[in-house]
Structure 1
Amino acid sequence: MSGRALDVLIVEDEVLLATELEYLAEEVGYHSVGLAMSSDEAVDLANSLHPDLALVDVHLQDGPTGVEVVRKIHDDCGCVALFMTANVKRLPDDFAGACGVIGKPYSEHGVKMALAYLAVCLEEGHAPGWPPVGLELAPAFAERWGLTDMPRTA
């Protein structure tokens, strides 16, 4: 990454997974600003910390509330969110305003590649190419980051 370290908020109720995500994010140059395990905590932290990216699981301590969390932090503080979930089928067609999803189980390499890719998208406002395997972008963000006109190469 060329600019400042992007701030990331981890929204995950499984402590080991949250710790791993924090480590992986820091490995690619992000700065972890917090960990939330419930929807209220996630919304409060997002509103007070204004992270550049939130990594959000669908199922949190207070139930399957991750979709509402993403919608709220997107609408209230403009935070870009990425779902990290085994519940990909629970996501609405509009991804609740999230930029995309990485389905669980995921690999360390896959997460690091996706986070590095998203760092470029967030810093430059356009994609450096098609997303890495394992990262599915929301249609709105694919369009925002210029992928709808980009030819696919093998």
Structure 2
Amino acid sequence: MTESANGEQDTRIGVFLVDDHGLFRAGVRAELERAVPDVEVVGEAGSVEEAVAGIRHLRPDVVLLDVHMPDGGGAEVLRRIRPELPDVVFLALSVSDAAEDVIAVIRAGARGYVTKTISGRELADAVRRVHTGDAVFSPRLAGFVLDAFSDRPGAAPHSDPELDMLTPRERDVLRLLARGYAYKEIAGELFISVKTVETHVSSVLRKTQMSNRYELSRWASDRRLV
């Protein structure tokens, strides 16, 4: 909510888009602005650095935040912005529905997490709800959060030191590798190069002290990444 030039209160919700895919940002902007008059896209960014600078400058009401970007992820944006601008609300919008991604970004301070299968009207409703203080999750993701923050027997562990060694992107690559994807297929799925996939796999092998993809698959399966 901003103040207009004539001093009147503008009741529209100012939204800032953070995603490293320009076409996706354009699609979200079009969806929100075409059908939802009370939600206004005030800015966008395709990297962590651009996001931090843009949010600081524009001070939007709600930030739609991608979880994985080449120079970092949503959790890094949250880490740098939330202490400085606690009134800005963050809603994660990601292709990933992995439990560890959901939990990591919620722990960092996001108010909700929805996947990119959401419709334009559903997304606008989610923006309104987090703006008014609600927590919003795509249906099957809420259970991950309840488990992570619960002390009941059988709840998901609060952390896994071995898993915490991996970056979010390395976990994405590992998950697809464990599902049997070839390097080229992983590259296509994550919009990265085959060379980058190879680099991530080498890093995961080094960190986990495994020797091949078959050992990595078992390791990932044991940690419910698959």
TM-score (norm 1): 0.69
Question: Are residue 17 (structure 1) and residue 24 (structure 2) matched?
Answer: yes
State how far apart, in whole Å, the 2-side matches of 1:134 and 1:24 are: 21
The worse-fitting range, judged by mean Cα deviation, of 27-36 and 77-86 is 27-36
2:112 corresponds to: 100
State how far apart, in whole Å, the 2-side matches of 1:133 and 1:86 are: 12
Secondary structure in 2 matching 1:8:
strand
Contact 2:43 2:54 survives alignment (8 Å): yes
1:110 corresponds to: 122
Q: Give 2:128's aligned amino acid.
A: A
Q: Measure how far apart 1:19 and its partner are.
A: 1.2
1:73 corresponds to: 81
State how far apart, in whole Å, the 2-side matches of 1:10 and 1:135 are: 24
Q: Measure how far apart 1:98 and its partner are.
A: 0.8
Q: Rg bigger for which structure?
A: 2
Contact 2:97 2:141 survives alignment (8 Å): no
Q: CA distance change for structure 1 residues 100 and 135 in 2, over 3 Å: closer, same or farther?
A: farther
Q: Pick from 35, 50, 56 the counterpart of residue 41 of structure 1.
A: 50
Q: CA distance change for structure 1 residues 134 and 34 in 2, over 3 Å: closer, same or farther?
A: farther
State how far apart, in whole Å, the 1-side matches of 2:127 and 2:39 are: 9
State how far apart, in whole Å, the 1-side matches of 2:20 and 2:126 are: 21
Whose helix fraction is larger, Structure 1's or Structure 2's? 2
In the alignment of these two chains, the number of paired residues is 131
Structure 2 unaligned segments of length 5 or more: list them. 2-8, 147-226
Q: Measure how far apart 1:103 and its partner are.
A: 1.5
Question: Are residue 86 (structure 1) and residue 91 (structure 2) matched?
Answer: no
Contact 2:13 2:128 survives alignment (8 Å): no
Q: Measure how far apart 1:3 and its partner are.
A: 5.7
Contact 1:7 1:32 survives alignment (8 Å): yes
Secondary structure in 1 matching 2:30:
helix
Relative contact order (C-alpha < 8 Å, sep 6+): which is higher? 1
Per-residue CA deviation, residues 37-60 of structure 1 (Å, 9 max, x unaligned), is 000000011111111110000122
Structure 1 unaligned segments of length 5 or more: list them. 140-154
Q: Percent identity?
A: 27
Q: Measure how far apart 1:135 and its partner are.
A: 9.3
1:152 corresponds to: none
Secondary structure in 2 matching 1:45:
helix
TM-score (norm 2): 0.49
